[in-house]
Structure 1
């Protein structure tokens, strides 16, 4: 596992979301930090702190100046920072790593919980080391929860329409102590931050993560949304 995560509080999470959104908008417009800071009349050091460290209460005039240059409204920019804690369901099937990370940023996701038993992939960018690095570039945390992975011999039921059978078998996995411990950790994180639960299948109905998310919803009462 690539390190455990601890919630830093809602103010810290909002600050980091705003920083991620600023950086994504700046890069989409082909601007360097220096160019954006100069055009907005904002000190470069201030912009660097906003993007890299997160500032809990950035000045209104600073945010307004940056929004003007980035061609968005203040409301649109601040809305990205106000994403509420919650749960997202996502599969990387059919995605590129760049489009996947961009979708996470747009949704205000703070952390990705990888529930693949073995986090390797033939798709470029989605093996553990490269995925965690790509997410880190966007200031999104990554954790691999191996105990919430679906055993290899229980995957066929989800793929060939015997989903009920697959869910019944996976219930035994969730009942084991390692899985209960990781579920508790994930639930604690989700009540403070926006978390995407990741596996391969784009269609959640063909993936065991539906059981993980159902259990988390029961524990936290948080809504679950599909990542577009």
Structure 2
């Protein structure tokens, strides 16, 4: 059974995320954030792409598979039902459906990891995308080493 990996960078360093991806032999890091920006050092698109590619991991941003602003707000409130409803609507858009097709085709050939912020995949839209797109795949949630407590 093919696998889809997921990873969140909450409470992790860029190096810990890259290490977890390398340990799983991930070939493509699929950034599924609507806005690939972060206040966390190393997780904005260009920095993350450079680090992934330096480690031998391809990077691709799938904007249309990200969560719109209302969905991100619901996630911050812990309102998973609203997040699921909003994200379900996002996945019905033609642009999202096209990117879903591309991602599914790639995942048939390469080891893919879905990246977003939340550490717990069950609280993140990446679990919703997995459920909608990857029937017949195993989901493997990677957990990068946590930042040391200060």
TM-score by length of 1: 0.60
Deviations 1:14-43 (A, max 9, x none): xxxxxxxxxxxxxxxxxxxxxxxxxxxxxx
What is the 5 A alignment of 1:39-50?
none
How far 1:86 sits from its partner (Å)? 2.4
Q: Residues 86 and 226 of structure 1: is their aligned pair in 2 closer, same or farther, counting only changes over 3 Å?
A: same
How far 1:205 sits from its partner (Å)? 2.3
Task: Give yes or no for the alignment of 1:143 onto 2:47.
Answer: no
Q: Which consecutive residues of structure 2, in runs of 5 or more, have no partner in the other structure?
A: 144-150
Residue aligning to 1:97: 14
- Checking the alignment, whether the CA contact within 8 Å between 2:37 and 2:43 is kept in structure 1 is yes
* 2:109 match: secondary structure: coil
Aligned residues: 143
How far 1:85 sits from its partner (Å)? 4.8
**Alpha-carbon distance in structure 2 between the residues aligned to 1:99 and 1:203:** 16
Bigger Rg, which one:
1
Answer 1 or 2: which has greater helix percent: 1
Task: Give yes or no for the alignment of 1:134 onto 2:54.
Answer: no
Residue aligning to 1:199: 116
Q: Which consecutive residues of structure 1, in runs of 5 or more, have no partner in the other structure?
A: 1-83
How far 1:164 sits from its partner (Å)? 1.3
- RMSD over aligned CA atoms reads 1.3
Higher relative contact order (CA 8 A, sep 6+): 2
Answer 1 or 2: which has greater strand percent: 2
